[in-house]
Structure formats: C-alpha cells, structure tokens
Amino acid sequence: MNDSTPHEHAHHGPSPYVIFGILLGLLVATVAVYYVDLGTLGLAVAMGIAIAKAGLILTYFMHLLHEQPLTRLFAASGFASLAILLIILLADVASRMGT
Amino acid sequence: MSTATDHGHDAGPGFLAHHFDDRSQQREAATLGMWAFLATEVLFFGGLFAGYAAYRFSYPDAWVEGSQHLSIPLGTINTTVLLTSSLTVVLAIEAVKRGDRRELVRQLLFTIGLAVVFVGIKGYEYASKFAEGHVPGSAFHLAHPHNPDVPVDQVELFFVLYFIMTGLHAFHMVVGIVLFGVYTWLASKGRYDEHYHTPIENIGLYWHFVDVVWVFLFPLLYLIAP
C-alpha cells in the first residue's frame, strides 16, 4: 500500500486560496478593462487575461507541469492543434478583409 | 483470476487491476487517458471558438450589438461561482490525500451546490432571452437595438453562437453534476482514501477544464466593448 508516486504527494506550491484570490483579481481586471476604452487593444488585453487565468488553472489546479512527459505531450497536442486551426483560419479571414 | 501474481483487485479501496505493475503505473495510465479525452474536448470547443472568431472579424458591429444584450453582472457572478467550484474541487482532492473522507464529501457537496447555482443562473438568462425574442429562429427580433444600422440577421448569428457555445458548456456542467453526485455517493461509502483517489483527481481535471472554457467564453461573449 506504500507504492504511491511522487505525483500523489502534496505539491509544495502556493496555497490554492492564493491562486483563487489571483483568479478573482484577474476577473475584476477583465471586467474593469471593458469599461476602459482601449479601442482595438481591448480584445488583446481580454484574451491576455483569459490566457493568464487558464495558465494558473492548468498549472496550480490541474498540476499539468507535474505530470509525466507523455501526459504533458497529450495535453499540448490539443492546444497546438487548436492554435494551428485558429492561425490558418484567421490568416484566411484577414486576407479577405476589405475585398 | 486468483493467481500468485494477482494483486487483489476488487479488494476494496485502492485496488490494483491485474494488468498494471503497480499503483503509480495504474494512476499514470488513468491520468493520460483523461488528458487524451481533454485534448479532444479542446478541439470540440475549439471548432466553435474558430467559427466565433471568423464571424466576429467579419461582423464586428453585430458582435458589439449582441454582447450589449447580455448581462455583465450575471456573467460576472457566474464566473465567480465557477472559479469557486474549482477551488472546492482542489480542497476535495487535498482532503482525500490526507485521508479525510468527511471533508472530501463536504467539499464535493459544495462543488455540486455551486454547479447547480451556475446552471440555475444560466437557465434564468436563457429564459429572459426567450422572453425578449433573442433566440435565433423565426421569432428573433431586437426590440431595442443600440445600433439600428447593424443588420439583424448578423446579430442573430451572434446569438446562434452564444446559445451553442454556452449550451455545450452548460451540458458539460450538467454531466459534471451527475458525475460529482456518483462520486460523492461512492466517497460517502468510503470508496476513496489517501492511497486510492484517482477518480476524484480525474473528475477534478474535467471540472477545471470546463472552468477554463468559461474563462474564455465570458469575455468573448459578455465583454465586447463598443
């Protein structure tokens, strides 16, 4: 009963309450940004905040960086495929703008 | 199946299936499988985000108009509820790793409660959309457009994506509530302890993923500045 892996030991990272507090702070920030006129930068800032929140959840709640390399590769394959889809699609849309 | 190398599966909490060498290999296989599933989920939702992006760049004014008919306070409350439910899942997993079954069940019940609140608020939002005629279809109309120059059918397209994206997300929430119900019941019967809790970790991964999807849906649907 004692063959537990390193993954099963408590992670000595920041307290989940601290991460939760940062996530709430970023939520306040993203709503606040809406009321500040940033023009076309608004979308970039909102997505930057969302990516930061997602990164915190993946790192500190899902412990992705502590998983074995194959698991991280599987996780990365999903996000990399999505990135390819979005980049090529948006390049196509951008190239048709104004025609 | 009782052989000398039998690891005693079905021997209560912490059993090891006979095709694994040890418990860490068994746990890594389960985690890998969960992430394979989540990678397909990224693309499941990703296709919708791609469609959203293409039409937002094509019809930016319609996206601003549609977004202004959504309630930022309700969206903010729901984001807070969902982030809090992610915290309670983390606390549930920490509890089971300490072997504290009572706290595990308590945190799982908190999570279910928060998920029900989220779906309830979402249902209220849907009901008001039906009442206001913002549901795509023959009855779709904008009684009070902020920008009368925007073609109504483009705004309707925004709401098509709004309902499909939030609907698919809400479906994942409902599935999560059912799964959490099953795991809470099993946890209350003492199924999980400090040695065996992989199913709790995996439902946690699922729940955090659903949270991540909402983290993107909220600013993309509710917070489109004019």
- What are the tens digits of pLDDT across the range A82-93? 999 999 999 999
Long-range contacts of B22-26 (CB under 8 A, 24+ apart): B22/A3, B23/A3, B23/A4, B23/A5, B23/B195, B23/B196, B24/A3, B24/A4, B24/A5, B24/A7, B24/A8, B26/B198
Smallest CA–CA separation between B140 and chain A, in Å?
27
pLDDT band at B171 (very low <50, low <70, confident <90, very high): very high
CA distances from B214 to B18, B38, B220 (A): 39, 15, 10
Residues A85, B76: C-beta atoms closer than 8 Å:
no
Residue B132 scores a pLDDT above 50:
yes
Query: Residue A34: its chain B contacts at CB < 8 A?
Result: 72, 219, 223, 225
Q: What percent of chain B has pLDDT over 70?
A: 94
Percent of chain B at pLDDT exceeding 90: 82
pLDDT of residue B144: 86
Beta-carbon separation of A8 and B97 below 8 A: yes
Q: What is the pTM of this model?
A: 0.90
Minimum-distance CB partner of B50 among A1, A68, A86: A86
> How far apart, in whole angstroms, are the C-alpha atoms of residue B123 and residue A97?
37
Interface test with B, best of A35, A45, A57 (most B CBs within 10 A): A57
